[in-house]
Amino acid sequence: MIDFYTNPKSRGVIARWMLEEIGAPYTTHLLDYQTTMKSPEYLAINPMGKVPAIVHDGQVVTEAAAICAHLADAFPEAGLGPPPEQRGAYYRWLFFGAGPFEAAISNAGFGFVVPEGRERAIGYGRLEDVLDTLEAHLRDRRYFLGEKFTAADVYLGSQIGFGAEFGLFLMRAGLSAYWERIKDRPARVRGMQLDKEAEDEN
């Protein structure tokens, strides 16, 4: 059993996409930012009072990248994670997405600029360095691990899509081409439709 806690206007869309990719049944719990997300019942699941979160067979998993990795491991038949002996690059890019990439685009979205000469004091250095790294890696690859779509693409692809949608950074040609390759995956389309329906109901 999987219980999925989310809001249609949150990073829950990443977890929803991953849930649709694995194809396992799940129960959705829609939370409101000001009320149910801060309720004692939900804070017992995630003391941060944020979404997404899942409870899978009694295990609580928060943080979108962790949810993607957990579901890939828990449902290997979906083929969204490499075998353990081939996970070096997989972990590298998942954590690059959850660390330097998300921090860089979040700061850019709020207009925070690292003071000149202090780049080494922050994990991502400069936003341009992060984007250069992503674009260079994808230059000769269809997906982050080559020809195989994985949970890393769900997470990083979502972040690239957010950047395109909200203008968080100037989209590079290579990143735009990558986003075009993955944005219409059936699982993502289903997830977006489910979130739209949930938003319309509320």
Q: Is the pLDDT of residue 5 over 90?
A: yes
Q: Is the pLDDT of residue 82 over 80?
A: yes
The mean pLDDT value for 143-165 works out to 96
* pLDDT computed for residue 74 by the predictor: 98
The percentage of the chain sitting over the pLDDT mark of 70, rounded to a whole number, equals 100
Task: Give the Cβ contact number of residue 142 at 10 Å.
Answer: 15
The mean pLDDT value for 183-194 works out to 98
Please provide the DSSP assignment of 123-143 as one string: TT--HHHHHHHHHHHHTT-SB
Residues 19 and 71 sit within 8 Å (Cβ to Cβ): yes
Q: What is the mean pLDDT of the chain?
A: 96
Distance of CA 139 to the CA centre of its chain: 21
Give pTM, 2 decimals.
0.96
What strand order describes the sheet that includes 53-56? 27-30, 2-6, 53-56, 59-62
* Residue bearing tokens 């944005």: 183
